[in-house]
Structure 1
Amino acid sequence: MVTAALKGGVGKTTTSVYLAALAASGRRTATLIDADPQASAAEWVENATDERLQRIQVIEAPTERLLTKALDKAAADGVVVVDTPPAHERLLTKALSRATVVIVPTRVGGIETSRVEAVLDIVPETTPAGLVICSARTYTRSYQEALNNWIQAGVPVWGTAPERVAITAGPRGPLCPDGLEAYRKVWRRAQYAARSVAA
């Protein structure tokens, strides 16, 4: 499972951490590969007091060689979530070539649409991909318009994470119930998409 974005600040790390936490809450092994040189996801998990995050194995892999090595070592029976760096198309392409499913975090407005389209253009044709709209003000007209535009364009929207400071609080506190609820929907849809392709 690859969390993919070419632009920073769209909720990529938050999405990766919550999805890894949901994976770890089952009986499977959950590995979070942090391919971003900033290592925000690794830092979040390693410094967290939340029990769900303490069950995640973290591997830092900020280069193509390290990423390939980490993916080769990842448990075949477990779930691997890859947090990719922004503005690093080669490394993102490498991660996408090994993905079973791709989650593309985005926000509403600005240049987000063109950035999402750029990511979707490099996702392999047979790999399922869906969006998660992050830090969303779901009551606004701009959110509804963005959601409708993606649906009309035929791009699956797998979920929405509402705008809550607690969701992105990082290691300072436990995972936010609103965040877990929102990302549980994304997790289920991603799992369903991956199973559909494998079947």
Structure 2
Amino acid sequence: MIIVTAALKGGVGKTTSSVYLAALASSNRRAAILVDADPQASAADWVENSGDEKLERVEVLEAPTERLLTKALDRVGDDGVGVVDMPPSHERLLNKALDRASVVVIPTRVGGVETPRVEAVLDLVPPSTPVGLVICSARTFTRSYKEALESWVQAGVPVWGTIPERVAITAGPTGPLSLDGLESYRKVWRRALAAARAT
């Protein structure tokens, strides 16, 4: 199973989503591979420096080129899980990953510029590949959040989860994974797993 976390814009929760999903995948399986395709290697830094035991069984492969990405994805076994953290604004590399994706997770935030960027990623995803949104850093009590959720539902785009706005969730390598974050991403993980099994 290969989960591609895709966004054409930075700062929407892509790396956070990838790391939490890899942690959850490794807790349910023997191991998970986190493929960091972003040259900044933020996901790799997070896993290697966090010291969190929930990330101990996550193997990190840095793959910022098409050749390295192909080699990394080839390492995901038949019963394994690979989570790919894609860089923003690298459409060619993203297309390479999407060709191998079992499911695609698109992190987004609430706001006017986000919808066209999500739609641009949706246009790249092969029609047979399941895809779901994750609304990150959400203020769930606001009107704008509720309106955004309604608009995605009306557009027929599944929302697999909402991640509340919490500093601890996006702390990165400076601390352990947040329990709030794990609980919120558990729903995303289960929906991605169910979508992959249904295809």
Matching of residues 175-194 of structure 1 within 5 Å: 175-194=177-196
- In the alignment, structure 1 segments of 5+ residues that lack a partner are none
Which position in structure 2 is the counterpart of 1:82? 84
Q: Size of the alignment, in residue pairs?
A: 197
2:100 pairs with one of 98, 101, 121:
98
How far apart are 1:29 and its partner, in Å?
1.9
Distance 2:78 2:66 in 1: 20
Aligned-pair CA distance for 1:75: 2.3
TM-score by length of structure 1 reads 0.97
Matched, 1:2 2:4: yes
TM-score by length of 2: 0.97
Gaps of 5+ in 2: none
SS in 2 for 1:80: strand
2:30 and 2:57 in contact (8 A); partners too: no
Q: Could you say which residue in structure 2 is the equivalent of 1:138?
A: 140
For 2:19 and 2:29, locate their aligned partners in 1 and report how far apart those are by CA, in whole Å: 17
1:91 partner amino acid: L
Residue 34 (structure 2) aligns with: 32
Aligned identity (percent) is 76
- How many Å separate the matches in 2 of 1:29 and 1:176? 20
Once the two structures are TM-superposed, the CA of residue 69 in structure 1 deviates from its matched residue by: 1.0
- Once residues 172 and 109 of structure 1 are traced to their aligned partners in structure 2, the CA distance between those partners, rounded to angstroms, is 28
Report the Cα distance in structure 2 between the residues aligned to 1:9 and 1:46, rounded to whole angstroms: 21
Matches within 5 A, 1:35-46: 35-46=37-48
The aligned amino acid for 1:25 is S
| RMSD after superposition | 0.7
Letter in 2 for 1:119: V
Which residue does the alignment assign to 1:155? Answer: 157
Q: Is the 8 A contact 2:52 2:175 kept in 1?
A: yes
